[in-house]
A and B are shown apart, each in its own frame.
Chain A
Amino acid sequence: MRLPSFLRLSPRWAPYVFISPFLILFAIFGVFPLLFSLYLAFQSWEPTSGLQAMEYVGLGNFAFALEDEWFWKSLKNTAWLALASGVPQHLVAIPLAVFIHNSFKRLRDGVIGAYFLPYITSTVAIAIMFSSLFSKDFGLINAGLHSLFGVENVDWLGKAENIKPAVAFIVFWRYLGFNVVLYLAALQTIPKDLYEAADMDGAGRWQQFFHITLPSLKPMILFGVMLSVIGGLQLFEEPFILTGGKGGIDQSAMTSAMYLYRMAFDFNDFGGASAMSWLLFALVVLMTWLTNRAFRPRGGSV
Chain B
Amino acid sequence: MTVDRLHPSHAASESPTHKRMRRLFLQAGLAVAIPALPVQAAQGRRQLTVATFPLLDEILKAALPAWRRIHPNVDIQIVSRQYGDHHTAMTTALSTAVRLPDVMALESSYVGRFAQGGGLDDLAKEPYRIDRFRSRLVPYAYDQAINRRGAVVAMPADIGPGTLLYRSDLYAKAGLTEADFTASWDAFVEAGIKLKATTGAYLVSNAQTVKDIVIRTGLRPGEGLYFDQESRVLVNSSRFVRAFELARKVRRNKLDARVGAWSNEWAEGFRRGTLASDLSGAWMAGQMANWVAPATKGLWRAAHLPERTFVGYGGSYYAIPRRATPENKALAWELIQLLTLDRAQQFAAFKSQDAFPALLETFDDPFFADPLPFLGGQPARLLWRDAARKITATQVHKQTNFADEVIGTELDNVLDHGKDIGRALADAERLLLRRAHR
Interface residues of A (CB under 8 A from B): 44-51, 53, 64, 67-70, 131-132, 135-138, 155, 157-160, 244-246, 249-251, 265-270, 272
Contact = CB atoms under 8 A, between A and B. Distances in A.
A47 B89 CA distance: 12
A268 B91 contact: yes
A49 B95 CA distance: 6
Contact of B264 (A69, A132, A159, A245): A132
9 contacts: A44-B438, A47-B95, A48-B116, A53-B118, A137-B268, A158-B260, A250-B412, A265-B91, A267-B435
A266 B435 CA distance: 14
B412 A160 contact: yes
B433 interface: no
B41 interface: no
A158 B94 contact: no
Contacts of B90: 48
A159 B415 CA distance: 11
Interface centre among A50, A250, A269 (most CB of B within 10 A): A50
Nearest to A68: B434
B95 A51 contact: yes
A251 B258 CA distance: 17
Given A44-B438, A155-B258, A251-B409, A268 B264 contact: no
B292 to A, nearest CB: 15
A267 B402 contact: yes
Interface centre among B113, B263, B323 (most CB of A within 10 A): B263
A86 B97 CA distance: 41
Contacts of A47: 91-92, 94-95, 117
B88 interface: yes
A158 B259 contact: yes
A70 B399 CA distance: 15
Contacts of A158: 258-260
Nearest to B261: A244
Contact of A50 (B259, B265, B323): B323
A249 B399 CA distance: 19
Nearest to B410: A250
A48 B92 CA distance: 8
A270 to B, nearest CB: 8
Contacts of B416: 159-160, 249
Given A50-B97, A160-B412, 5 more contacts: A46-B398, A48-B114, A49-B117, A67-B434, A137-B265
Given A250-B412, A267-B401, A48 B96 contact: no
User: Secondary structure of the B side of the interface?
Assistant: helix
B84 interface: yes
B438 A269 contact: yes
A249 B412 contact: yes
Interface string B92-121: 101111000000000000000110111110
Interface of B: 1, 84, 87-88, 90-92, 94-97, 113-114, 116-120, 258-260, 263-265, 268, 322-323, 398-399, 401-402, 405, 409, 412-413, 416, 431, 434-435, 438
B265 A267 contact: no
B348 to A, nearest CB: 31
B260 A157 contact: yes
B95 to A, nearest CB: 4
Given A136-B265, A265-B91, A51 B438 contact: no
Contacts of A268: 91, 113, 398
B225 to A, nearest CB: 16
B206 to A, nearest CB: 9
Contact of A51 (B96, B401, B402): B96
Contacts of B94: 47-50
Contacts of B95: 45, 47-48, 50-51, 270
Contacts of A69: 431
A176 B258 CA distance: 33
Contacts of B97: 50-51
A265 B94 CA distance: 12
B263 A135 contact: yes
A280 B391 CA distance: 44
Given A44-B438, A269-B438, A49 B260 contact: no
B115 to A, nearest CB: 9
B263 A131 contact: yes
Contacts of B119: 48-50
B268 A138 contact: yes
Contact of B118 (A49, A64, A157): A49
Interface centre among B87, B95, B114, B398 (most CB of A within 10 A): B95
Contact of B409 (A49, A250, A267): A250
A254 B167 CA distance: 37
What 10 A-B pairs have minimum CB-CB distances, sorted nearest first? A49-B117, A47-B95, A48-B117, A48-B119, A48-B94, A49-B118, A46-B117, A135-B264, A267-B402, A265-B88
Given A51-B96, A138-B265, A250-B412, A272 B118 contact: no
A269 B434 CA distance: 13
A188 B435 CA distance: 56
Interface centre among B90, B264, B323 (most CB of A within 10 A): B264
Contacts of A155: 258
Nearest to A267: B402
Given A251-B409, A267-B399, A131 B264 contact: yes
Contacts of A138: 264-265, 268
A268 B113 CA distance: 8
Nearest to B1: A244
A69 B428 CA distance: 12
Contacts of A245: 84
Contacts of B399: 267
Nearest to A266: B401
B413 A250 contact: yes
Nearest to B398: A268
Nearest to B413: A250
A132 B268 CA distance: 12
B438 A64 contact: yes
A266 B88 CA distance: 8
Nearest to A45: B95
A259 to B, nearest CB: 11
Nearest to A137: B265
A181 to B, nearest CB: 32
A25 B401 CA distance: 37
Contacts of B434: 64, 67-68
Nearest to B88: A265
